[in-house]
Amino acid sequence: MISLRSKLEDIGYDFNTMEAGTMLLFRKAIGGIAKAAQSEWVRLAQDRLKTSREIYVNGLRQSESFEIRKVDGEPVYDVTLVGDMPNNLEFGMPAFDMKAVRPGWLGGAKAKTSKDGHKYIVIPFRHSTSSDARLGYSGKAAKMDLKKELNRTVKEYGLDRMIRTASGQVVAGATTRVPSKEYDVHKYLRGLTRIQTPTAGRTKDGKQKGTSQLMTWRIMSEKSDPGSWLHPGLVPQNLLIEVEAYANRELNRIIEMVLLEGAGT
């Protein structure tokens, strides 16, 4: 929390006895600093984060991410990172077993029960050949350079081609697929499937346009290996520390500017 009152008192000014004109200048400036701090927070997240960028930034763009309230008649600006996952990214998270999280995948509404009574859930994974860092791999997949293997597999199995009918219509749904028991393909990419969706418009040669996604699916269950589905945890980003430092610098600059102006220098 950054307090104008405390900063003024630290340098010998009585907040309550300041002239109305000076207080008006401060009130206008504080609102601007709060907005600027929020923008700086977003900028830092966009600059530093990769695959988790959208999740984090979305936590700064909620209606409750910027709120104004009154305390003792003075406006207080709250800039807040909203949501469990954005805050886990900011403050970090210890390693945990994803199978045991409650509520989690196996404890959630989408979990199913098999004939022999154990719970399981099919978890989709989206893959992308794009060089955009937001669509890259993280964790083990990033370390083993799975993107390179993905690009090879997509070309080798023809998953980079739009599948159309003889009349040029996009075939909707699952089309090309890597066999799930294709052992010359990395185990993370076995069963890789191209899923197509027709869209509006036509290509230059008159064929229907469409979009596609590359997907695989894995099953998590109560019978999964105890050593599987272990999340390594999240390293804290600590962007808030930098945002607070930025806001403090701006507030110090504004205080100096307003007081100098008030002194007529």
- In a shared domain, residues 204 and 240: no
Structure confidence by residue, pLDDT tens digits, 72-121: 777 888 999 999 999 999 999 998 888 876 556 888 888 899 999 999 99
Burial 153-190 (b: 16+ CB within 10 A, else e): bbeebebeebbbeeeeebbeeebbbbeeebeebbebbb
Domain membership flag for residue 230: no
User: pLDDT-based confidence at 262, cuts 50/70/90?
Assistant: low
Q: How many domains does the chain have?
A: 2
User: pLDDT-based confidence at 265, cuts 50/70/90?
Assistant: very low
User: How high is the mean pLDDT of the chain?
Assistant: 89
Tell me the three state secondary structure of residue 219: strand
According to DSSP, residue 133 is labeled G
- In a shared domain, residues 124 and 217: yes
Average pLDDT of the segment spanning 201-220: 95
Structure confidence by residue, pLDDT tens digits, 35-67: 999 999 999 999 999 889 999 999 999 999 999
Structure confidence by residue, pLDDT tens digits, 113-171: 999 999 999 999 999 998 876 777 877 787 788 999 999 999 999 999 999 999 999 99
Tell me the three state secondary structure of residue 199: strand
**Cα–Cα distance between 151 and 130 in angstroms, integer?**
9
pLDDT at residue 179 is higher than 90: yes
79, burial (CB in 10 Å: exposed 0-12, middle 13-18, buried 19+): buried
Domain that holds residue 87: 4-91+235-262
Domain membership flag for residue 14: yes
Question: Residue 206: what pLDDT?
Answer: 94
Task: Please indicate, yes or no, whether the overall pTM of this predicted structure exceeds 0.75.
Answer: no
Segments of the chain assigned E as strands? 66-71, 74-79, 96-97, 112-113, 119-127, 173-177, 193-202, 208-221, 230-231
User: What does DSSP say about strands 173-177 and 193-202: parallel, antiparallel, or unpaired?
Assistant: antiparallel
- In a shared domain, residues 216 and 245: no
**Cα–Cα distance between 206 and 105 in angstroms, integer?**
44
- In a shared domain, residues 140 and 167: yes
Between the CA atoms of 93, 130, 105 and 180, what dihedral angle is there, to the nearest 10 degrees?
-130
Domain membership flag for residue 101: no
